[in-house]
Amino acid sequence: MTNVMKLTINKVEHDVDVDPEMPLLWVLRDVIGLTGTKFGCGIAACGACTVHLDGEPIRSCVTPVGDVEDAVVTTIEGMGTPASLGVVQKAWVKHQVAQCGYCQSGQIMSASALLDANPEPTDVDIDDAMSGNLCRCATYPRIRAAIHEASKMLKEDA
C-alpha cells in the first residue's frame, strides 16, 4: 500500500509516503526532519505544534497530513533563519523573550498569524489570539511586549 502525498512546506515540495491519518506534526518532525515545530500535548491543548496552513494558525498535532495535501504549510523554519531573522523573531530577540524556549516556535507562529490578520492588536486581541499557546516558563509578559514591538516594526517597515 502506498500513500505518496505532495506537501508544500516553506515553499519546498516534499513527497511523503505515510498513513494519511498521521498528524502533520510527526510528518514534519520524524519524516521530513523539520524539528522546529514541537510536540507538547497531542490534543491541541498547548499550541507548541502551531504552524500556518494557507496562512492560518493550526495545531499540527491533530491535523491529519491527508488534509493538507494541497495546502501551503509554513513552519518556524520558514519564518527566518539565525542569519536573517523575520520581524517577529527580531522583536522576540529584542525583548529576550525565550527562557526554556520550547514553546516559542508555536508562540511565534500564533503571533505572526495574529499580526497578519490584525497589524495593531490590542492587549485583549493578544489575550484572545495567544491563550491557546501554553508557556510553562510563563514568558507571557515579554511575549505581549514583543508582539506590540513587532506591530510597531511592521508599521515602520510598511
Partner 1 sequence: MAKKTKAKTAEEPKPKKKRSLTRRVFMLGSMAIAGGVAFGAYHYKKPFKNPLQDADGDITLNPYLFITAAGIKVIAPRAEMGQGVHTTLAAMVAEELDVAWDDVEVIHGPASATYYNAEVLKLGLPFADYSKSTVKDVVSGVTDVASQILRQQITGGSTSTRDGFMKMRQAGAAARLALMEAAAYEFDVPASELKTNNGEVIAPNGSRLKYQDLALDASAIKVEQNPPLKDPSDWRYLGKAMPRKDMVGKVTGTAEFGIDVKQDEMLFATVRFNPKLGGKMLSFDGSKAAAMRGVEKVVDLWDGIGVIADNTWTAFQAAQSLEIEWGDAPYPADTDGIYAEIEKAFDDEPNSVLRDDGTIEETLAAASQVIEASYRVPYLAHTAMEPMNATALLQDGQLDVWVGNQAPTVIQEQAAKAVGLSTDDVRVHTPYLGGGFGRKPEYDVAVQAAKLAKAMEGRPVKLTWTREEDVRHDFYRPAALARMKGIVSENGPSALKLDIAAPSVYRNQAKRVLGITPPGPDKLLVEGAFDQPYGIPDFQVNGYLSNVEVPVGSWRSVGNSYNSFFLESFLDELAVAKRLDPLAMRLNLMKDLDKPSFDTLRAVGDISGWGAPTGAGRGRGDGFGRGVAFCYAFGSPTAQIVDVSQTEDGVKIDKVWCAIDVGTAFDPSIIEAQVTSAILYGLSAAIYGDITFEDGEVVEGNFDEYDALRMGTTPPVEVKILQSTGHIGGVGEPGVPPSMPALANAVYDLLGKRERLLPLGKSVDFVSV
Residue the block writes with cell 516559542: 104
Q: Which amino acid is at 117?
A: A
- Locate 99 and state its grid cell: 527562557
Contact 106, 132 (CB under 8 A): no
Alpha-carbon gap, residue 110 to 107, rounded angstroms: 5
Quote the least distance from Cβ 60 to partner 1, whole Å. 11
Of residues 37, 60, 63, 112, which one binds partner 1 by CB under 8 A? 37
56 binds partner 1 (CB under 8 A): no
Asked if residue 55 binds partner 1 (CB under 8 A), the reply is: no
Stretch that binds partner 1, among 43-51, 52-60, 66-74, 148-156 (CB under 8 A): 43-51
Residues 133 and 63: their CA atoms lie apart, in Å, by 17
User: 511565534: which residue's cell?
Assistant: 108
For residues 124 and 110, give the distance between their C-alpha atoms in angstroms, rounded to a whole number. 15
Q: Which stretch binds partner 1 (CB under 8 A): 52-60, 66-74, 85-93, 150-158?
A: 85-93
Judged by beta carbon, residue 139 or residue 151, the one nearer partner 1 is 139
Q: How far is the CB of 75 from partner 1 (least distance, A)?
A: 7
Enter the C-alpha cell of residue 97.
523573550
Q: Is 66 in the site for partner 1 (CB under 8 A)?
A: no
Task: Give the Cα separation of 43 and 7 in Å (integer).
Answer: 23
> Which of 54, 70, 119, 136 contacts partner 1 by CB under 8 A?
136
Q: Using CB under 8 A, list all residues that contact partner 1.
A: 1, 18-19, 22-23, 26, 29-31, 33-43, 45-46, 48, 75-77, 79-82, 85, 89, 92-93, 96-105, 108, 126-128, 130-144
